[in-house]
Amino acid sequence: MNYARFLNKVSQARQPSPIRVLTAILQQSKPSMISMAGGMPNVGTFPIESATFKLSDGTKLEMDHELMKKALQYTQTPGVPELVQWVKGLQERVHKPPCSGVNWDLLITNGSQDGICKSFDAMVSPGDKVLVETPSYPGTLAAVKPMDCELIPIKSDKNGLDPSDLENVMSNWNVSDSDIPKLLYLIPNGGNPTGHGLTEERKRKIYSIAQKYNLIILEDDPYFYLQFNKPYVPSLMSMDVEGRVIRFDSFSKLISSGMRLGCVTGPKPIIDRISLHMQASVMHASTLSQATLLLILKEWGYEGFDNHVETVTEFYRQKKYMCLKAAEKHLTGLAEWDEPSGGMFLWLKLNVPDTYNLITVKAREKEVLFVPGNAFQLDEAQPCQYVRASYSLCTEEQMNTAFERLAALIREEQSN
């Protein structure tokens, strides 16, 4: 593939930071190397000597003085090398990227959203057309809306993004047209806000359309491991034979959102450009967070990681059942919904013309919070009947109370 077509002028103009290059050289050098090059602070001046972490199963992990010195120091932009290798091993084990003739690579990022934002920064130019699954994640919309591009909505339903609508939209262009869209953004599993997931059949159709029209797919998949049915639906990256999928994963939903760690995986020419942006901005994700995560992952191994994932998934699966039960009890006849296939959200269509005032004013007055559906639209000013309810933090009693209050507000709205 010709990746130059997808990279904007700013991204193509980025050059490696000499200081960042020296950091990588130093960390890969023999102990005998004498460096008077880097501007690294002396770790002997740092006040933290060591740390002990206690896991939820009682296991204690020690970050001794030597490891702590590494954790408190700068590291390479792609990430702590041992962590990068561990996560690469996980990607190979789970997704088995098949793209032939294209080297894939991986960066540890400040949460997956950092990778998403920098990917748009690398590939979107003023006037570009970007395909976006709707409804969509507001964090992504906040990143791409100010970029002077045209966002084109692609419809989705209970089975995720609709390939027939994607094909219909793309049929407006010939592949040779200069203004044809280049990027497709979607959330394939446990979507935020819908909780819906793509079927394997739909994923294969979407990838085929991407091949036909020369699209790059931005696969934003923080809920991949929170799919409620097994086996997992294969990822788009696992189907990528041409190097046209950029995948975003997150540790926020599985291990810690406060660590701010995720990763972006994809064809090396694109990953290299994102890396150059990181060199000029954050330099690298928190080394202390990376070292802590690495301690945990090395203790678990891949099988232990799988066991932890199953525990977390079962937790949210039970929360989903509680939420559906509460919705059936209080909202039957007042709203419609589909069972989530993963994640932590229930997408409710209320029997009212618009939910914005109902949720942002009246519901808050009744001390219950939801997110009005217009927050997930490309045009927030348009009326929307939907509401996002998150079941991640609430007890069963709280879910019942929240939906009971919502039901009363819907009836009041209908009577006016």
Using CA atoms, how far residue 337 sits from 224, 278, 350, 351, 375, in Å, is 21, 41, 9, 11, 18
Confidence band for 29, pLDDT divided at 50, 70 and 90:
low
In a domain, 306, yes or no: no
Mean of the pLDDT values across residues 72-90?
Answer: 95
Domain co-membership, 235 together with 322: no
Domain co-membership, 220 together with 356: no
* CB within 8 Å of 146: residues ≥ 6 apart: none
Domain boundary pick from 249, 269, 301: 301
* pLDDT over 90 (residue 27): no
Domain co-membership, 208 together with 274: yes
In a domain, 140, yes or no: yes
* pLDDT over 80 (residue 110): yes
CA trace torsion 287, 293, 295, 299 (10° rounding): -160
Q: What is the pLDDT of residues 51-77, one digit of tens each?
A: 999 999 999 999 999 999 999 999 999
Domain co-membership, 50 together with 158: yes
The boundaries of the domain holding residue 332 are 313-415
Output b/e per residue, 125-137; b: 16+ Cβ within 10 A.
eeebbbbbbbbbb
Domain co-membership, 290 together with 332: no
* pLDDT over 70 (residue 22): no
Domain co-membership, 385 together with 350: yes
Domain co-membership, 65 together with 135: yes
| pLDDT > 90: percent of the chain | 90
| CATH code, domain with 62 | 3.40.640.10
Mean of the pLDDT values across residues 227-233?
Answer: 95
Domain co-membership, 292 together with 350: no
Mean of the pLDDT values across residues 267-279?
Answer: 95
Task: With 0.75 as the threshold, say if the pTM is over it.
Answer: yes
Domain boundary pick from 301, 328, 349: 301
Domain co-membership, 337 together with 357: yes
In a domain, 245, yes or no: yes
Domain co-membership, 295 together with 317: no
Residue with tokens 């098949």: 98
Confidence band for 39, pLDDT divided at 50, 70 and 90:
confident
* pLDDT over 90 (residue 135): yes
Please report the pLDDT score of residue 102 as a whole number.
Answer: 76
In a domain, 3, yes or no: no
Q: What is the pLDDT of residues 156-213, one digit of tens each?
A: 999 999 999 999 999 999 999 999 999 999 999 999 999 999 999 999 999 999 999 9
* pLDDT over 80 (residue 34): no
Domain co-membership, 175 together with 322: no
Domain co-membership, 233 together with 104: yes
Cα–Cα distance, 92 to 7 (Å, whole number): 26
Domain boundary pick from 301, 334, 361: 301
Token digits for 275?
Answer: 């890396």
Tell me what the pLDDT averaged over the chain comes to: 94
* pLDDT over 70 (residue 25): no
In a domain, 308, yes or no: no
* CB within 8 Å of 341: residues ≥ 6 apart: 189, 190, 195, 196, 197, 227, 228, 229
Q: What domain count does the chain have? A: 2
In a domain, 128, yes or no: yes
Please report the pLDDT score of residue 1 as a whole number.
Answer: 85
Mean of the pLDDT values across residues 1-22?
Answer: 85
Please report the pLDDT score of residue 91 as a whole number.
Answer: 97
